[in-house]
Amino acid sequence: MDRTIVDNQQDDLQKKLQNILKRTGPLLSSCPIRNILDRFSDKWSTLSIIHLGDAGTLRFNELKKRIDGVSQRMLTVTLRTLERDGLVKRRVYAEIPPRVEYELTDLGRSLLVQIIELGDWASNHSQQIIQARERYDTRERNVVMAEL
Amino acid sequence: MDRTIVDNQQDDLQKKLQNILKRTGPLLSSCPIRNILDRFSDKWSTLSIIHLGDAGTLRFNELKKRIDGVSQRMLTVTLRTLERDGLVKRRVYAEIPPRVEYELTDLGRSLLVQIIELGDWASNHSQQIIQARERYDTRERNVVMAEL
DNA sequence: CAGCATCCAAACAGATACTG
DNA sequence: CAGTATCTGTTTGGATGCTG
């Protein structure tokens, strides 16, 4: 038993990776993993989940105010999708003027954990990425200049 | 000291969430976190990283064969972006016919860990999401039928 | 207030043809 | 082999106007 914790973590990751690859079959459209990763595709999904996770419950316009730059249309579309996927719960109150409240479901909260970890990674590595971009762009510019 | 491990994990998440929110300022376009999360936007980035992580080093067409459905153009664009961000290393051999090999950088491998965790979450919860969608769509259909 | 419907511009992505 | 260039259909998303 000379396996370290790091070894076991590696094994764990390796196993998960194989599982993902197995599930990423030739039928890309029906791939369940792709399907969920696509939730990260649109900018607003992640931000909506983050803000709902932070605030607990929010009305439509409260959420809209928090997510800078989102149009009404896109927030509506985003919330519908999240609701359909069972990540967000929508509660309508029969009042005038109408009141609609949104909050995360248990499933949504478990996804929030993943998003936070991802955001944390991004936060911790953004500097490295920005520097890499600058290096790359400088190199490009030099090549272009050499061609002139 | 009656705080449980779960409590501390909650604190940790809470702290990370606050940090993310702080960094998600009004200037959305320049937000470093958004910038990195956008790497998840396009379908091919994640798949490229997963396959490179699995195989180690791959030539352009080897990678293309593994990623079902990707066009040459999109794979090229994707790899350029990943290279620019310092996630993928591109090595060109001065041979004829040309040989180009791609592999993850250290930064890319650290992102791979995050992608695997995310994919693992997706894999474990895809069933719940599919069921939620079916429930939602059925409900929709009923509403429509009631209106007829 | 919360939203749906429509229009339109811009970004995206596939197919095709060509090149060092 | 590993691209680049171009053309084009599709998708996206903002702006605007209207409704219960």
**Nearest by Cα to A85 from A125, A49, A43:** A49
pLDDT < 50 positions in chain B? 29, 147-148
Domain that holds residue A126: 32-147
- Rounded to two decimals, the pTM is 0.89
Q: Which of A72, A73, A67 is nearest to A43 (CA)?
A: A67
> Do B118 and A114 make contact, defined as CB atoms within 8 angstroms?
yes
Q: Could you tell me the CA-to-CA distances from A92 to A50, A102, B123 in Å, in that order?
A: 21, 9, 32
Q: How far is B92 from chain A (nearest CA, A)?
A: 16
Residue A24 lies in a domain: no
| Contacts with A84 from chain B: Cβ below 8 Å | 132-133, 136-137
Is the Cβ pair B47, A41 closer than 8 Å? no
**Number of folded domains in chain A?**
1
Tokens of A137: 């762009």
Specify the 3-state DSSP secondary structure of A88: strand
Inside any domain, residue A99? yes
Read off the CATH number of the domain in which B64 is found: 1.10.10.10
CA angle at B110 for the pair A109 and A124, rounded to the nearest 5°: 65
| B80-111 residue pLDDT tens | 999 999 999 999 998 889 999 999 999 999 99
List chain B residues with CB under 8 Å of A28.
68-69
Positions of chain D reached by protein Cβ under 7 A: 1-6, 12-17, 20
Whether residue A71 contacts residue A101, with contact meaning beta carbons closer than 8 Å, is answered with no
The residues of A between 64 and 83 with beta carbon within 7 Å of nucleic strand C are 72-73, 76, 79-80
Residue-wise pLDDT for A99-134, tens only, equals 999 999 999 999 999 999 988 999 899 899 989 999
Phi, psi of A100, deg, nearest 5: -130, 130
- Distance in angstroms (rounded) separating the CA atoms of residues B32 and B61: 32
